[in-house]
């Protein structure tokens, strides 16, 4: 039997967390698939899953794969109050597209809620997905953050686009959100990359590559429209809109994201998206607990 490749550096708790994170991000997997993807021995993963199954943190399906169980989902529900989830679902119905809620977690951006019944947000993203804090990700949070985070975020940008992102940080408070546009070719590229992400989810040892592809999904999401373009009457391409979720004192708590993924959006539709998004962000800011 193979020894754990992470035995000397990863304590037991880390292995349990890795198993739970993988099931949350990638969906049902057999014990062997989890072991191969994480580089752990099958006996270790089997023992972890057995313990989680006994506490109903995971559930074994008829095909012998495992998925998150009811006990863990109850804990997740407690972590995200029902009013927040209800607001996210209402927003998804109003804008008729995918919705996500993201939080900063150290130097990464973490997807804590994904409502995809009305469309992907973006394709390949699931609860638990993490992305590096690199522009343009989390622009609306950075726009309301302190100078240290701003400097760190801008320093991570490509030099050729740094001035563009500096202007964006100024525009976001005026607009109340960031509106990204990508043309039809870009939308097709997003679909292809989503297929790649889905394929890599079933390939052992591909987590690093999958992470890079997910980052690329955001990198090609287009250019942010400035206030003058948004005020014009002509249609514009709109891939995503993001708004900050702010505490009553103005502290950024999260980013709320919707993904129409449309190559041509008339001004009335843009105004509808912006109004619905920013109102939901304000509602969540009033009802969600600090993180």
Query: pTM of the prediction?
Result: 0.68
Average pLDDT over residues 66-84: 72
Q: How far apart are CA 185 and CA 123, in angstroms?
A: 15
Domain with CATH 3.30.450.40 in the chain: 80-287
Confidence class for position 291, pLDDT limits 50, 70, 90:
low
Residue 187: pLDDT band (50, 70, 90) is low
- Specify which residues 11 forms β-bridges with: none
Does residue 74 contact residue 108 with C-beta atoms inside 8 Å?
no
pLDDT band at 183 (very low <50, low <70, confident <90, very high): low
The domain made up of 12-75 is a member of CATH 1.10.10.10: yes
Residues of the chain with CATH 1.10.10.10: 12-75
Task: Output the CATH code of domain 80-287.
Answer: 3.30.450.40
Distance (Å, whole) CA 38 – CA 49: 14
Q: What is the pLDDT of residue 184?
A: 61
For residue 210, pLDDT beyond 80: no
pLDDT at 190: 66
């Amino acid at each position: 039997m193979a020894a754990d490749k992470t035995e000397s550096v990863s304590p037991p708790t880390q292995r349990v967390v890795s198993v739970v994170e993988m099931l949350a991000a990638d969906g049902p997997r057999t014990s062997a698939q989890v072991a191969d993807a994480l580089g752990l021995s099958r006996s270790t993963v089997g023992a972890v899953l057995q313990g989680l199954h006994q506490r109903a943190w995971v559930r074994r399906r008829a095909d012998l794969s495992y998925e998150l169980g009811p006990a863990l989902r109850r804990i997740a529900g407690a972590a995200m109050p029902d009013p927040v989830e209800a607001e996210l679902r209402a927003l998804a119905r109003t804008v008729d597209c995918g919705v996500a809620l993201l939080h900063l977690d150290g130097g990464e951006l973490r997807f804590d809620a994904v409502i995809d019944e009305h469309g992907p947000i973006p394709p390949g993203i699931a609860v638990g997905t993490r992305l590096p804090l690199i522009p343009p990700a989390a622009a609306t949070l950075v726009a309301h953050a302190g100078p240290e985070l701003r400097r760190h975020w801008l320093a991570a940008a490509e030099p050729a686009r740094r001035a563009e992102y500096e202007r964006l940080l100024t525009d976001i408070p005026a607009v109340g959100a960031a509106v990204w546009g990508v043309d039809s070719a870009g939308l097709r590229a997003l679909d292809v990359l989503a297929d790649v992400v889905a394929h890599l989810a079933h390939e052992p040892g591909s987590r690093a590559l999958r992470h890079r592809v997910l980052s690329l999904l955001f990198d090609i999401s287009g250019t942010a429209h400035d206030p003058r373009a948004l005020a014009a009457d002509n249609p514009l391409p709109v891939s995503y809109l993001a708004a900050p979720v702010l505490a009553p004192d103005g502290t950024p708590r999260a980013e709320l994201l919707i993904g129409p993924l449309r190559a041509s959006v008339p001004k009335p539709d843009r105004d509808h998206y912006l109004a619905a998004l920013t109102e939901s962000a304000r509602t969540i800011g009033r009802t969600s607990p600090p993180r």
